[in-house]
Chains A and B, each alone.
Chain A
Amino acid sequence: MRSGAWRALRRRPVFWVPVAILVVVLAMAVAPRLFAGADPADCTLDRSMAPPSGAAWFGYDFQGCDVFARTVYGTRSSLLVGVLATALAGLIAAGVGMASGYLGGWLDSVLSRLTDIVLGIPLLLAAIVLLHRATANGSGHGIWPVVGTLGILGWTTAARVVRSSVLAARQQDYVQAARMLGAGHGRILVRHIAPNAVAPAVVVLTITLGTFIASEATLSFLGIGLRAPSISWGGDIFAAQARLRQAWWPLIWPSTFLAVTVLAFIMLGDAIRDAFDPRSR
């Protein structure tokens, strides 16, 4: 079944196009120097808002910084926030989903209601409240408050998916057989049940990763996400929008990178889901 899904994936451009994009984005995050020759911190006001030219293909922003360099260097924080927040959300989802699916009973009821409540609060609104508090407490504007906020709020859909996969697997004959052979709860959960939940959880988390990157940009745009000296796409979009009438280039490039990255993650998640679940086609 799994190799069948892989074979279906391998033949589809809908899978390879986002993979190619994400490889480039990842390379940019790891080694921005390879892509941008200019230093993003090298800003001088006398070339403020200089339009795109041979020296700087993407032009300069209001502070006189190279737009291309800033966009490339911004990849790292955006991707890092997305990946770390998704890892946190995945951990919480795995814990909650497996506990409520496998143990059941009152714990399942409590955890399911908790999931309902967190799912009932729109992500961005709750993130505004949480982050506002984190900043007011003086925890700074680094990536960690943003990572924590998104992770704590964004695990619900994945937890539901894990729970239902665990519930379905728990009743299977091979699990009963393993129990009869004397396997403990831990072994059954890890070796026999958890693998069933991996594929559907990966699909949900890939799409979540895309939305997390978009949410980070939105939060930074509202002024409560990452702030200077962190370079982020959302922050740059916010800085550029006030002067949109004078210059479009400081806005277009971070926007394009952001949109393409988010799109790539969502396309990838879509393609994997189609491969694992042919009915949804």
Chain B
Amino acid sequence: MVRFVVRRLLQMVIVFFGTTLVVYAMMFGAQGDPIQALAGEKPVSAAQRAYLTEHFHLDHGFWYRYADYVGGLLRGDLGDTLTLRPISSVLAGAWPYTLKLAGLAMVVVVVVGVGAGVLAGVRRGGLFDAATLALTLVVIGVPVVVLGFLGQYLLGIRLRLFPVANEGDLYSLILPALLLGMLSLATTVRLTRTTVVENLRADYAKTARAKGLSRTRVVGVHVLRNSLIPVVTFLGVELGSLMAGAVVIENIFNIPGVGFTLARAVRTEDGPTVVTIVSLLVIVFLVVNLAVDLLYAVLDPRIRYA
């Protein structure tokens, strides 16, 4: 176990440096004037130029700057936006919204997705199964931009069930979270259904039933626990698209979260903020996937991590 954790951590360190290097190089590497790239299409005065050169160490080589940037990241120093506000203070106001939104979306995905998947798997070939399969295909195919507006228009503007923009309370986050979770929800339902169907046929499920256990117990305890392993892996990977979806959903519903901040930074051509937010999101993604890998041992004792 310890060896596995150490090896997995080393792997993550490599991916972390690789990823931040790629993101950093995409933003500041190659040819071109980095200051102009930082400032976008706005003109830059000589004094500003001198200050930015000093501030972002532009008179040093690429590797020096990258090391400086990563060193800052590791120390928890996120650097400044182009308007020289600390990025950490910008994010401090933003992340609670995104955390609440993503958390709610995850709850929707897990509760509704696993629930519907188990139901569809147990009653395979039934009406509920067919309806879920058709519905999930449609939801997988519809891009989050379309889904977001459709939900906002139908449930928010037409039926007035939910507020159409953020009002700061948890209730106004429910509709965005529902729509954000929808994408992962569809795949979760399908995955759960497939694994439940497979596991129901397995010998251990037959044994459990032959022992005289009730159907609820066989499905709820024996089958479900084994079926959850691939679902948990999927949810870890799915966090990436959940974060990307959050960028879109937060913009549609005017939620001042991390994704909204990122989109605003893109629009105002604020390079350092864009790079930092993307790096942070990638780090979150990596850490969650590490946690998922370690969670396997809890879900499946057969995995020993030799």
Contact = CB atoms under 8 A, between A and B. Distances in A.
Interface of A: 113-114, 116-118, 120-126, 128-130, 132-133, 135-138, 210, 214, 217-218, 221-224, 234, 237, 241, 244-245, 248, 251, 255-256, 258-259, 262-264, 266-267, 270
Contacts of B22: 117-118, 121, 126
A189 B281 CA distance: 40
Contacts of A120: 15, 19, 282, 285-286
A193 B32 CA distance: 42
A258 B266 contact: no
By Cβ-Cβ distance, the 7 closest A-B pairs, closest first, are A263-B141, A124-B244, A122-B240, A214-B143, A117-B18, A255-B146, A259-B142
B188 interface: no
Interface of B: 14-15, 18-19, 22-23, 26-27, 32, 36-38, 40-41, 137-138, 140-146, 149-150, 152-153, 157, 240-241, 243-244, 247-248, 251-252, 262-263, 266-267, 269, 271, 274-275, 278, 281-282, 285-286
Contacts of A114: 18
B22 to A, nearest CB: 6
A130 B274 contact: no
Contacts of A128: 247, 262, 266, 274, 278
Contacts of B248: 218, 221-222
A109 B184 CA distance: 31
B282 A244 contact: no
B143 A132 contact: no
Nearest to B141: A263
A237 B146 contact: yes
A248 B252 CA distance: 15
A223 B267 contact: yes
Given A128-B266, A221-B145, A237-B145, A263 B138 contact: yes
**Which residue of A121, A234, A251, A256 has the most chain B CB atoms within 10 A of its CB atom?**
A121
21 contacts: A117-B19, A117-B22, A121-B19, A122-B243, A122-B281, A124-B244, A125-B244, A125-B282, A126-B26, A128-B262, A132-B266, A132-B269, A136-B41, A137-B32, A214-B143, A218-B145, A218-B248, A223-B267, A224-B266, A262-B141, A270-B137
Contacts of A222: 247-248, 251, 263, 266
B141 A259 contact: yes
B183 to A, nearest CB: 10
Contacts of A126: 22-23, 26, 278
A71 B145 CA distance: 16
B261 to A, nearest CB: 12
Interface of A, secondary structure class, is helix
Contact of A251 (B141, B153, B247, B286): B153
Contacts of B36: 136
A270 B241 CA distance: 20
A120 B22 CA distance: 11
Nearest to B158: A248
B20 to A, nearest CB: 10
Contacts of B262: 128
B142 A262 contact: yes
Given A133-B26, A259-B143, A251 B40 contact: no
Contacts of B19: 117, 120-121
A122 B285 contact: yes
A214 B146 CA distance: 9
A244 B152 contact: yes
Contact of B149 (A121, A132, A136, A244): A244
B64 to A, nearest CB: 20
A136 B269 contact: yes
A6 B41 CA distance: 53
Contacts of A234: 145
A122 B244 contact: yes
A270 B140 CA distance: 11
B137 A267 contact: yes
B120 to A, nearest CB: 15
**Which residue of A122, A137, A214, A255 has the most chain B CB atoms within 10 A of its CB atom?**
A122
Nearest to B244: A124
B14 A244 contact: no
Contacts of A255: 145-146, 149-150
B225 to A, nearest CB: 23
B265 to A, nearest CB: 9
Contacts of A133: 26-27, 37, 271
A217 B143 CA distance: 9
A247 B64 CA distance: 53
